[in-house]
Chains A and B, each alone.
Chain A
Amino acid sequence: MKNILLACSSGMSTSLLVTKMEEAAKSKGEEVNIWAVGQDKAFSELAKADVLLIGPQMRFMKKKFERAAKEEKVFVDVIDPVAYGRVDGESVLKKALAFFNE
């Protein structure tokens, strides 16, 4: 199971993306577990994740997340703003899955 955690200010706007990513994963036949939380919960959820994707509007927190993620060996990335605006689950999923090949 590939665990992908999404984080934004309160987990609202990223949760829009979760549904779209799940749909994309289903059509690809990928076994994934995707969930979204607010930034304050993200640190405690980190241990359960393999990849953490943060909303572009929270990109100023990237460094802080990276420090915490390093200990848990979690990859951190900022979601592309264009894909975020289009709620493009497929392209975000593709980028997230790329981490599992590294």
Chain B
Amino acid sequence: MEKVMGILERILLPVADKLNNNRYLTALRDGFMVALPLIIFGSIFVVIANFPFLDQLLTEEAFTTYQNALNPASAATLSIMGLFVIVGIGYKLVEQYQLDAVYGGVVALAAFLILTPQVVEDVSGVIPTASIGAEGMFLGILTAFISAELYRFFVQKNWTIKMPDGVPGAVSRSFSALIPITLTLFVFLVIRIIFSYTPFDTVQNFIYSVIQQPLTALGSGLPATIIAVLLIQIFWFFGLHGQIIINSVFDPIWYALNDENLQAFQSGSELPNIVTKQFIDTFLVGMGGSGMTLSVIILIFVIGKSRQLKELGKLGAPAGIFNVNEPIIFGLPIIMNPLIIIPWLVAPVVITIITYFAMATGIVPKPAGIIVPWTTPPILGGFLATGNAWQGAVLQAFNLMVVCLIWWPFLKILDKNYYENEEPS
């Protein structure tokens, strides 16, 4: 067993290292971090605008006025999150080359807008919000990567306008960015013009139908989700932060799916996706942390006899409620514990399947596209993520019990082992 573990660790560590230290994946992850406060701001106002029973308490007119007053908050942030992610990625990527990062952000934004359709139903001079929201997500990410790289390339070629000594630093910097930005944006203008002669008409259509749609269709399916969940669990089993490693690959897909649901939720139409960012963050991670360890803490309080587990329960509970579970993962321990690997891998898969089918059959509403911070305690998280639906809260409570049942026999054995090794007090 030790040997197998050793071999697996030697395989996983470099994979984690590669995924996490890759220049583009790092920029992508940090770019989403830039957008996150704005996304959460918008989410809060979607929740407030859709408080339960308000539509019944208020007159229809008052309710519409109320919603119209609050809608700009999410329309300016959550609905067009792609824009902030693009600025974030451009900034973070150029920053890695130790160049003036703010230009990386704006050049990425401008390049993306150049590629964006600027006509809505024959009205020109307008930008469809869909293209700067969910539909533009993948194009935005690609554009940010390419434009930041081109900008860096042109800066490092040193085709910059040199200012004489004595010119203030800020002035010469603004000129030094001029040529690289001009060349970079020109490239994107050419790309736009070329695409206008293809059947796709815009680059956005092309990327959306050739890359984004197939990838999100794959990523929204149950098999891909189970694989992602299992990978997260396996990384954690070896004491590596599975979430951060897997998220850097899956986040663009999960966020795009999320945004599609948000658009549908706000327009009152049927929600298209079950698997979204919230499916993962609220219904899998938001149950005490990766592996739903809040159930483990509950179980410790119910059946724990050994001092070791009781102590761990007390230590892990306050953080566990907010889905921080490192004390449990390293303290139980879960890492490298052959007894624990079965519930550790089985429970999240079972919960993924239960949650998926509860939503597919319509028993529980699908995630409404609201980004609930992953530190939101379970029950509340499920309520908010489903657009203020009590069914979401009940599903989380039910799932916590299912995880308890799966863990029961294994935790019982572990507790017995600890108890027998402890000196009677």
Q: List residues of chain A with CB under 8 Å of any chain B CB.
A: 8-9, 12-13, 16, 39-40, 55-61, 63-64, 81-82, 84-87
Partner of B326, one of A39, A55, A61, A64: A55
Q: A8-B241, A57-B330 are in contact. List 4 more A-B contacts (CB 8 A).
A: A40-B33, A57-B236, A57-B239, A61-B21
Check A82–B241 contact: CB distance below 8 A: no
Partner of A57, one of B312, B329, B375: B329
The stretch of B47-55, B331-339, B348-356 that contacts the partner chain: B331-339
Check B335–A16 contact: CB distance below 8 A: no
A-B pairs with beta carbons under 8 Å apart, 17 shown: A9-B243, A12-B324, A13-B319, A13-B327, A16-B324, A39-B244, A56-B239, A56-B330, A57-B236, A57-B239, A57-B326, A59-B13, A60-B13, A60-B16, A60-B17, A82-B330, A85-B328
How many residues in B have their beta carbons less than 8 Å from beta carbons of A? 31
Quick one: which of B129-165 are within 8 Å of A by CB?
Answer: none
5 smallest beta-carbon distances between A and B, as pairs: A85-B330, A85-B331, A13-B326, A60-B16, A57-B241
What CA separation (Å) do A56 and B16 show in the bound complex? 13
Partner of A84, one of B244, B330, B332: B330
- Given the known interface contacts A60-B16, A60-B17, A84-B326, the answer about A9 and B332 at a Cβ–Cβ threshold of 8 Å is no
In the complex, B211 has a CB within 8 A of chain A: no
With most chain B CB atoms within 10 A of its CB, the pick from A13, A60, A82, A86 is: A60
Contacts of B391 in A (CB 8 A): none
- For the A-B complex, the count of residue pairs with Cβ-Cβ distances under 8 Å equals 76
Check A85–B332 contact: CB distance below 8 A: yes
Contacts of B243 in A (CB 8 A): 9
User: How far is the CB of A76 from the nearest CB of chain B, in Å?
Assistant: 15
Q: Is the interface of B mostly helix, strand, loop or mixed?
A: helix
What CA separation (Å) do A59 and B332 show in the bound complex? 19
- Given the known interface contacts A9-B243, A13-B319, A40-B30, the answer about A81 and B335 at a Cβ–Cβ threshold of 8 Å is yes
User: How far is the CB of A23 from the nearest CB of chain B, in Å?
Assistant: 14
Chain B residue at smallest Cβ distance from A84 = B330
What CA separation (Å) do A81 and B148 show in the bound complex? 38
Contacts of A63 in B (CB 8 A): 17, 21
Quick one: which of B49-102 are within 8 Å of A by CB?
Answer: none
What CA separation (Å) do A85 and B330 show in the bound complex? 4
In the complex, B315 has a CB within 8 A of chain A: yes
What CA separation (Å) do A64 and B25 show in the bound complex? 14
In the complex, B44 has a CB within 8 A of chain A: no
Binary per-residue interface labels of chain B (203-245) against chain A in the complex, 1 for a CB within 8 Å, 0 otherwise: 0000000000000000000000000000000001001110111
In the complex, B176 has a CB within 8 A of chain A: no
What CA separation (Å) do A61 and B335 show in the bound complex? 18
Contacts of B240 in A (CB 8 A): 57, 59-60
Check B333–A85 contact: CB distance below 8 A: yes
Chain A residue at smallest Cβ distance from B319 = A16
Check B16–A86 contact: CB distance below 8 A: no
User: How far is the CB of A50 from the nearest CB of chain B, in Å?
Assistant: 24
